[in-house]
Amino acid sequence: AAERPLAGKRAVVTSGPTREAIDPVRYISNHSSGKQGHAIASALAALGAEVTLVSGPVSIADPPGVTTVHVDSADQMLAACLAAGRIDIAVCAAAVADWKAARPAGSKIKKKAGMAPPSIELTPNPDILATLSKPGPQRPALVVGFAAETENLVANAIDKRQRKGCDWIVANDVSPAVGTFGSERNTVHLISASGVEDWPTLAKGEVAMRLAGRIALHFGRPTKA
């Protein structure tokens, strides 16, 4: 049992970018590779949790031992998270587009000689982390978000934890100079109600294993050291 401390727990992990259609051939997205989120799904499964990974479009493989649901848009990602039903643990590592096109065109927007560039009206996407964090009987016992920041990392992340209503926030610097998007390593700060913990720079798999270990501890089931 000590090797599978999360046996009997159900988890949802979001990972990767979302893709928001402008027209049938163009979209708004970002540079998330899914490496961090997929590693967390694997680490939770390795500790015995039953894991649903809801992934945006990525080029990495589905992790073994995990149920992977593939989605494109934020709306689809939210629907897939809710379709997973009662869960104990949610980890939102996806880089969800904050905005989508208000009215995606039904056919390819044609470029015509002399025409002014079209403007795209944006509208907010649903906030998946905030939705999963809403108090109520269906709320997972533990909701973990990420904060991707390029300045005032810890202060912004502390603020984000409160605004979104999640229990923990994993803060990481996504400035191009740091290169968190797509790389193999990550330097994070784990923020909870009891304070801020600075972790050393680790491989994304190691960040995932540490986080899964902390989650097991939260449920009173320490992993064997």
**Residue numbers at the binding site for ligand PMT (CB under 6 A):** 14, 32-37, 74, 92-96, 98, 125, 127-129, 145-148, 160, 172, 174, 180-182, 204
- In a 3-state reduction of DSSP, which class is residue 216? helix
Kindly tell me which of 14 and 223 has the beta carbon lying closer to ligand PMT. 14
Kindly tell me which of 204 and 221 has the beta carbon lying closer to ligand PMT. 204
**Residue 27 beta carbon to ligand PMT: minimum distance, rounded to whole angstroms:** 16
Q: How far apart are CA 192 and CA 190, in angstroms?
A: 7
Q: How many CB atoms lie within 10 A of CB 14?
A: 33
CA dihedral (192, 194, 200, 203) positive or negative: negative
Residues in the chain, overall count? 225
**Residue 147 beta carbon to ligand PMT: minimum distance, rounded to whole angstroms:** 4
Q: How far apart are CA 102 and CA 38, in angstroms?
A: 30
Kindly tell me which of 45 and 208 has the beta carbon lying closer to ligand PMT. 208
Q: Is 30 a catalytic residue?
A: yes
CB 29 within 8 A of CB 19: yes
Binding site residue list for CTP: 98, 108, 126-129, 146, 160, 164
**Residue 7 beta carbon to ligand PMT: minimum distance, rounded to whole angstroms:** 26
Q: List active site positions.
A: 30
